[in-house]
Structure 1
Amino acid sequence: MTEQRAELPRAQWHSFFEMLTKDYEGADVTVEVLDRAFGDQLEAAKLPLAYLEYDEKDDCFSVGLGGRDSKYPVVLRHAVTRPRRILTTSSIPGTPWALDIEDEDGTQTLVTLHLRPEIR
């Protein structure tokens, strides 16, 4: 029972994040930035997912958190411009699922989904 990391092909980024948003909307998400110049930064901890997206035209990955109810009325948006690769983990049920987005400068953004959607 180990996690497997796999690189997501660029051609699948847009559709993959649309599907993931539908499946995980409202799940708790943590966003961390690992930067050589500024060090490791926790940007958001366990806020509800609004969306994950990749804009091919602008070459930008974005994660939006909050904005769905009065508890979190504003969307926090974190953007990674010109991502060069995205790694994903597939893990055992009940454990966090994560994305590792690396930009052209080597800065990594870690997006962790803490809750799995309910089986319908």
Structure 2
Amino acid sequence: MATHKLDHSQWQTYFDRVSRGLGGRQVSIEVTGLALGDQIEADALSLTGLSYDPKDNLIEIATEEVDHLVRQPREIYVEEDVEGLHNVEIVDPDGNHQIIRLQTPLALPAH
């Protein structure tokens, strides 16, 4: 898997494009920082979308249960390969890292 930094001019089009293909994925959201330590904000929630609003300079990670917002993001890194997007790391104005891990739910065997 390759991790690369997204240029600010790519944020909206990138999230618009990848959000369409994320149906059925689960997401975990972790916030890390020197003052915060490591905190799990959400775990194994069904993802409904990822978006960037340039007008409000806001990233939204929407799930069926909660919306996680990152205001005024400074940097965005994505980890992806031929199978698609795996992780998104957003650096907020305070230098905290919002780490969004995407998982495909395991299929249960049919009875």
Question: Shared fold by TM > 0.5?
Answer: yes
Which residue of structure 2 lines up, in the alignment, with residue 104 of structure 1?
93
Equivalent residue in structure 1 for 2:68, among 52, 72, 78: 78
- Aligned-pair identity in percent equals 30
Match of 1:46 in 2: 44
Corresponding residue for residue 17 of structure 2: 19
* TM-aligned CA deviation for residue 113 of structure 1: 1.0
- CA drift at 1:4: 1.6
For residue 63 of structure 1, give the secondary structure of its aligned residue in structure 2. strand
* Paired amino acid for 2:97: Q
Amino acid at match of 1:29: V
State yes or no: 1:90 paired with 2:80: yes
Q: Look up the equivalent residue of 1:78 and give its one-letter code.
A: H
Q: Could you tell me the TM-score, scaled by structure 2's length? A: 0.86
| Offset, 1:92 | 6.2
Aligned length: 105
Structure 2 portions without partners, runs of 5+: 106-111
Q: In the aligned structure 1, how far is the partner of 2:52 from the partner of 2:71?
A: 10
| 1:69 corresponds to | none
Structure 1 length normalisation: TM-score? 0.80
Over 3 Å counting, the alpha-carbon distance change for 1:92 and 1:15 in structure 2 is closer
Q: Partners of 1:88 and 1:20 in 2: how far apart?
A: 11
1:93 shift after superposition = 4.2
Separation in structure 2 between the aligned mates of residue 39 and residue 91 of structure 1, nearest angstrom: 29
Counterparts of 2:66 and 2:12, CA distance in 1: 20
Structure 1 residues 52-92: Cα deviation after superposition (integer angstroms, max 9, x where no partner): 011101111110111xxxxxxxx301111110110011246
